[in-house]
Amino acid sequence: MERAARRAARGIIRDFGELENLQRSRKGAADFVTAADLRAEKVLQEELQKARPTYGFLAEEGGTKEGSDTAHRWIVDPLDGTMNFMHGLPHFAISIALERDGDVIAGVIYEPVHDELYWAERNAGAFHNDRRLRVSSRRDLTEVLVATGIPYKGLGDHESYLHSLRAVMGATAGVRRFGAAALDLAFVASGRFDGFWEFGLNAWDIAAGILLVREAGGFVTDAAGGTNVLHSGDVVAANSEVHSQLLTLLKGANGGTG
């Protein structure tokens, strides 16, 4: 998984360096980024199929591809933080997760600009490069820094989200929106963020990050406190104490439903 991520990252970084000449043309830049996304996904599939040719795929661009081994599936986002990438913001990542019988058992999130590799295996811990990860130990909401994702035009329930944002803003030390859910979860696992919530995400956005947080000692549920996060797409992640307080805030902000 690491080898696949690093190989795909070489093309992404090359493409990122060429974006400056396209910034004046929105359509040109958008088309270029879509092509970069597709190229990266192709590289990831090639590398992962070399290692495990019978596994299936769920990928952002290519959708679902069944494998002869129906128990295993790769869940891949070749470029999480596409809008950041298109605008020349150096905050994006490659996310790869391995699912076995519906449970994520391994995950890699690679941020190529700063060469930061986050990885985890079920029951074996989470790591940032070679350093073992633990979630933040902060407990007091007035001291925590929380990340989120904001719905944009045509997607999500904006009014409901604003209720949630208002509740969390009023109770915490700060809220950040960086635009790459995989990295938000990796930052929770590493203690850079104390918590994270977002609604309506896709499995490829969060599969690897969910495992990272859990293996770093954190809690991940949906907004109602359920554990089937990959299917709901709603994520609340933090250490145990902050997690319960965030859930209470989010449920209270939207009439008890999260």
Residue 258 maps to a domain: no
On whether both 167 and 63 belong to a single domain, the answer is no
Residue 187 maps to a domain: yes
Task: Tell the residue number behind the tokens 């009014």, with chain if given.
Answer: 159
- The one-digit pLDDT tens for each residue of the chain (258 residues) are 999 999 999 999 998 888 765 554 454 566 777 788 899 999 999 999 999 999 999 998 788 999 999 999 999 999 999 999 988 899 999 999 999 999 999 999 999 999 999 999 999 999 999 999 999 999 999 999 999 999 887 677 888 899 999 999 999 999 999 999 999 999 999 999 999 999 999 999 999 999 999 999 999 999 989 988 999 999 999 999 999 999 999 999 876 555
- How many domains does one find in the chain? 2
Cα 82–Cα 236–Cα 96 angle in degrees, nearest 5: 45
Domain termination residue (choose one: 98, 132, 166)? 132
Q: Is 223 exposed, middle or buried (0-12, 13-18, 19+ CB in 10 A)?
A: buried
Question: What pLDDT score does 25 carry?
Answer: 46
Q: What one-character DSSP code corresponds to residue 247?
A: H
On whether both 111 and 78 belong to a single domain, the answer is yes
Which residue range(s) make up the domain with 240?
141-253
On whether both 146 and 125 belong to a single domain, the answer is no
Question: What pLDDT score does 187 carry?
Answer: 98
On whether both 146 and 126 belong to a single domain, the answer is no
Q: How far apart are CA 153 and CA 23, in angstroms?
A: 21
Domain termination residue (choose one: 115, 132, 149)? 132
Cβ pair 189, 211 in contact under 8 A = no
> Which pTM value belongs to this model?
0.93
Q: Which of 91, 90, 78 is nearest to 205 (CA)?
A: 78
On whether both 7 and 124 belong to a single domain, the answer is yes
CB count within 10 Å of CB 20 equals: 10
CATH code of the domain in which 47 resides: 3.30.540.10
Residue 40 maps to a domain: yes
Q: Which of 215, 190, 185 is nearest to 201 (CA)?
A: 185
